[in-house]
Chain A
Amino acid sequence: DAKTTQPTSMDCAEGRAANLPCNHSTISGNEYVYWYRQIHSQGPQYIIHGLKNNETNEMASLIITEDRKSSTLILPHATLRDTAVYYCIVRVAGLAGTASKLTFGTGTRLQVTL
């Protein structure tokens, strides 16, 4: 799986958009980009994933550059409850009868402040 690079930490004011970047310059054509977050002492929470098109769900938006070498997770109106470590992961889709693990890097620690 391709390696990802994320900033160690970021701050965001409550109510503002949080834009979390991720670099995955060695991504290959069949690898998806996944975003998770982990709040202290809880299991990782799935946020969103995509292949090459931009994606949006009730939690966030995912913007993937045209060359797919980087992406940005956008939390449109950050709240204090969004304070967490955010992980960007690149993974090949598993074939039927197989499965592939997730490799979490160090992620970005997002601090949302009043």
Chain B
Amino acid sequence: DVKVTQSSRYLVKRTGEKVFLECVQDMDHENMFWYRQDPGLGLRLIYFSYDVKMKEKGDIPEGYSVSREKKERFSLILESASTNQTSMYLCASQGQGYQPQHFGDGTRLSIL
């Protein structure tokens, strides 16, 4: 079974802090994704990566950056956290072509 592990289930940070969310997958997948999920807005893609050191902006990249130094790890960085970044953050990984995306359990992040 595919395993996507997010470093924290719940996280509380203060405005202005730099926040790191980590995601690791164990299936040697090329593609990894970061989404956020908010009530009434569904899932929105923040960034994705289709290879090591490669990244592409999704629909809402402002205020975020990502890092992919190793194939199995994809990190999401909130450069200076703000209250409107309070959300559920979901990481996913996917093999090539039509293979499905597999999600982690999510990190519920609160910015105070």
Contact of B101 among A51, A98, A102, A105 (CB under 8 A): A102
- How many angstroms from the CA of A34 to the CA of B97 in the assembled complex? 13
Q: Which chain B residues (21-75) contact chain A, with CB distance < 8 Å?
A: 31, 33, 35, 42-43, 45, 48-51, 56, 58-59
- How many angstroms from the CA of A51 to the CA of B49 in the assembled complex? 25
- Nearest A residue to B101 via CB reads A102
The answer, yes or no, to whether A45 is at the interface (CB within 8 Å) is: yes
Are B58 and A97 closer than 8 Å at their CB atoms?
no
B interface residues, how many (CB within 8 angstroms):
28
Contact of B98 among A45, A93, A102 (CB under 8 A): A93
* Contact (A46, B102) CB under 8 Å given A99-B33, A101-B45: yes
Please report whether the interface of chain B is mostly helix, strand, loop or mixed according to DSSP: strand
- How many angstroms from the CA of A95 to the CA of B51 in the assembled complex? 13
The total of Cβ contacts below 8 Å across the A-B interface reads 58
Q: Which residues of chain B come closer than 8 Å to A101, judged between CB atoms?
A: 33, 35, 45, 48, 58-59
Say which size band chain A's interface belongs to: 20 to 34
- How many angstroms from the CA of A93 to the CA of B70 in the assembled complex? 24
* Contact (A103, B42) CB under 8 Å given A44-B90, A97-B50: yes
Are A102 and B50 closer than 8 Å at their CB atoms?
no
Contact of B96 among A42, A94, A102 (CB under 8 A): A94
Are B101 and A42 closer than 8 Å at their CB atoms?
no
- How many angstroms from the CA of A97 to the CA of B49 in the assembled complex? 9
- How many angstroms from the CA of A32 to the CA of B94 in the assembled complex? 15
Q: Which residues of chain B come closer than 8 Å to A68, judged between CB atoms?
A: none
Are A32 and B42 closer than 8 Å at their CB atoms?
no
25 residue pairs from A and B, CB less than 8 Å apart = A32-B98, A41-B108, A42-B105, A42-B106, A43-B4, A43-B90, A43-B103, A43-B105, A46-B100, A46-B101, A49-B100, A93-B98, A94-B96, A94-B97, A95-B97, A96-B96, A96-B97, A99-B31, A99-B48, A99-B49, A101-B33, A101-B45, A102-B101, A104-B43, A106-B42
- Which residues of A are interface residues toward B (Cβ below 8 A)? 32, 34, 41-46, 49, 51, 93-99, 101-106
